[in-house]
Amino acid sequence: MGMMSGKQFTNKHFKQQRRKGIFKFLTLLWTTLLLTASMANFGQIFPTPPAQAAALNIEILNNITTTNNSNTTTTNRMALGSQQNVNFKITGDQLANVSVLTGSRYAVVTVPNQLLGQVQLNGNATINTNLLIDYNKVGGLQDLLTTVTNLVTTVTNILNGSLGALTNVTLDVTSLNAAVAKLHGDQSITGVNFSKATQLSSDGVISAPLDDELGKVLNQNLITTLQTLKTAVNGLHATANNVLGNVLAALINTTLAPLKTATTTAIDAILTPLLAGTSPVTSELIDVSVLGHTEATIPTVVHVPSNLAHDLDARFVGTVVRTSALNLSILNSSANASYVYMEGLDLDTTPPDPPTVSISGNSAAGYIVTGKAEANSIVEIKNSSGTVIGRTVASTTGDYTINLPGSTGASKQLSATATDGAGNVSTATSFSTPADPTNPGTLAIDFASNIDFQTQKISTKDQTYFAKLSERSAQVVPNYLQITDGTWQNAGWSVNVTQLDNFKNNGHSLSNAAMTFSNGNATKLSGSETQLPTVENNFTLQPGVSTPVATASPSHGNGTWIIQFGVDQTSGANAISFNVDGASTKDAGSYSTTLQWNLSQTPTKSTIVN
């Protein structure tokens, strides 16, 4: 029985010594063996990167390639006016020394200048990547790492017999060993997949920001790591194999208790805000993490302009960068590009002749630029800063007219160019706006039609008579006023008319008779002003009463205007009427009255009587 007991003791002793040796081995190689094994597993995902920079100093991947699925070549081009869904795929591997960069991470594709406005977004970008994170570089984890180190050191000492030989005690550190290994050194997160909305800037940069989604993955990975560590720490417990181990097991657990509490408290201090989404550690995780092998696909719709002058090998740069600002010129300097080949027109490359220029006007009324250019060409006027201030298309005969506002200014240097349908631009024609006149013109009524109701038979019935049409430039036209505002003050003006007395014949007054004006309208004879004066459509005169006729509002009214009643001979023939009461006394002879037309503009006034 004693031998059996001794044999049993020897076997137990052997087993415990062997277990103790394993624990010592694992503990002593905590930062070497386990880390080495961990890194060995990640060798294919995170191969040791070459110590070199990317071609572009903001790129964060090595060996970047950019491809697209347009299936176009120099001999198989997209047709004029066609469109196609094109996905751009960016592939790259881990790059050394990338941690020195700052800013945000983006997957980007640049649009060639010739295709601005011709490329559209076509859904979210898809990202497949692997992440490498070294928790030792995260400042917000340093207190926890120190606390864990204290616990590990104590456990190691206990395993080495600091409290006594573990002959009759079991202390399993397998879970703790594995959990701590995930917190020390580089850790990989493989198979990270997500989609992200893309943005297209006005200068042609398509971008998909990566950090938000990477932050979510890094957060969750750290949460899982900490929860696993907390479970392992809480599960760290010495148990006696027999009554001989009770005292030592209790001593070990008493020794470990405050260290376990300190460790779980440190874990919770980080874990709680992580779970709430309010942890400042998140930004640190994003900052120190490194991308491994990455594939980013950005979907687009590419259009071929219907007026593309020549075949185009459209160069789209695709890359993954980390930067505080996406700069098109910097991005386009990258060598990582793919091409979409497009068919163009066989157009001429000869620029049109420079346009001829004639200009008139002033800083109050504005300016009128006229001239000749190549037929159907686009004529543009630019100021001295190169800003386009006027644009039009020349007629089929090459004539063009461009109105410029008075704010262009007097004596200002301008230039005009013509651009043909192939996009060829002429040499610029230089010219200047005129100097403002030192002796401006006046505001005046140039002409007022004489209203003539012609000879009519005396009648005892109510009658309506219509005024005879007027003449202008040897043509029969509606009765009208001609007004010229040459003051270049841009102050506006108003016209009123007053019938000074009743119609009279040798002193005999024609009672119950009224003159009515209808179908009032305005047309422009000359000047750069485009806003027509407002004309009263219908009004009836009362002797001695001033009646509004037309108004040009302030900032308008410059130039020469026709205020007429009727738009042509037909409508003008009935536009001014004279209604006479049949019961009124009428003598044979000529009845007449005087119309006083008043044109007013502060501080001047013009009057004409007819």
pLDDT at 598 over 60: yes
Domain boundaries, the chain: 27-341, 358-432, 443-609
Q: Helix axis angle, 246-276 relative to 142-159, nearest 10°? A: 160
Q: Tell me the average pLDDT across 481-509.
A: 88
Contact 574, 539 (CB under 8 A): no
Q: Tell me the average pLDDT across 84-96.
A: 94
What pLDDT does residue 609 have? 64
What pLDDT does residue 365 have? 74
Q: Tell me the average pLDDT across 377-405.
A: 96
469-480 tens-digit pLDDT:
999 989 999 999
pLDDT at 44 over 50: no
Band of the pLDDT at 28, cuts 50, 70, 90? very low
What pLDDT does residue 7 have? 29
Q: Closest by alpha carbon to 383, among 411, 358, 360? A: 411
306-326 tens-digit pLDDT:
999 889 999 999 999 999 999
Q: Tell me the average pLDDT across 212-216.
A: 95
483 CB contacts (<8 Å, ≥6 apart)?
443, 444, 445, 446, 493, 495, 550, 560, 561, 563, 599
Contact 63, 104 (CB under 8 A): no
Q: Which residue has the tokens 């960016």?
A: 90
Band of the pLDDT at 348, cuts 50, 70, 90? confident
Give the Cβ contact number of residue 369 at 10 Å. 25
Rounded-to-integer distance, Cα 295 and Cα 95, Å: 14
What pLDDT does residue 527 have? 75
pLDDT at 601 over 90: no
**CA distances for 83 relative to 70, 122, 302, 489, angstroms:** 10, 12, 5, 54
pLDDT at 347 over 80: no
pLDDT at 218 over 50: yes
What DSSP string describes 131-170?
EEEEGGG-GGGHHHHHHHHHHHHHHHHHHTTSS---TTEE
What pLDDT does residue 3 have? 33
What sign has the CA pseudo-torsion 218, 219, 220, 223? positive
Contact 359, 431 (CB under 8 A): yes
**391 Rama sector, left if φ>0, alpha if ψ -120 to 50, beta otherwise:** beta
Band of the pLDDT at 99, cuts 50, 70, 90? low
Q: Closest by alpha carbon to 223, among 135, 128, 99, 127? A: 135
Average pLDDT, the chain: 87
Domain pair 358-432 / 443-609, same fold: yes
Highest-confidence segment of 40-54, 427-441, 459-473 = 459-473
287-304 tens-digit pLDDT:
999 999 999 999 999 999
- What's the half-sphere exposure (Cβ side, CA atoms, 13 Å) at 422? 15
Task: Pick the more confident residue, 40 or 510.
Answer: 510
Task: Pick the more confident residue, 414 or 584.
Answer: 414
Beta-bridge partner residues of 560: 484, 526
pLDDT at 186 over 70: yes
Rounded-to-integer distance, Cα 606 and Cα 57, Å: 75
pLDDT at 35 over 70: no
pLDDT at 243 over 70: yes
- Which ranges constitute the DSSP H helices of 297-408? 328-332
Q: Tell me the average pLDDT across 448-455.
A: 92
Task: Pick the more confident residue, 465 or 37.
Answer: 465
pLDDT at 589 over 50: yes
What pLDDT does residue 1 have? 33
Q: Which residue has the tokens 């002003």?
A: 529
What pLDDT does residue 528 have? 67
Contact 225, 179 (CB under 8 A): yes
pLDDT at 11 over 50: no
**CA distances for 30 relative to 92, 157, 181, 186, 256, angstroms:** 33, 13, 7, 14, 19
Contact 369, 357 (CB under 8 A): yes
pLDDT at 106 over 70: yes
Task: Pick the more confident residue, 379 or 527.
Answer: 379
What pLDDT does residue 257 have? 96
Percent of the chain with pLDDT over 70: 88
Query: Which CATH fold topology does 358-432 show?
Result: Immunoglobulin-like (2.60.40)
What pLDDT does residue 254 have? 96
What pLDDT does residue 507 have? 86
What DSSP string describes 203-218?
TSEEEEE-HHHHHHHH
What pLDDT does residue 38 have? 29
What pLDDT does residue 4 have? 31
Contact 184, 299 (CB under 8 A): no
Q: Quick one: CATH architecture of 443-609?
A: Sandwich (2.60)
Rounded-to-integer distance, Cα 527 and Cα 606, Å: 20
Contact 109, 298 (CB under 8 A): yes
pLDDT at 13 over 80: no
Band of the pLDDT at 575, cuts 50, 70, 90? very high
Least confident window among 14-23, 152-161, 253-262, 422-431: 14-23
pLDDT at 363 over 90: no
What pLDDT does residue 309 have? 83
pLDDT at 438 over 90: no
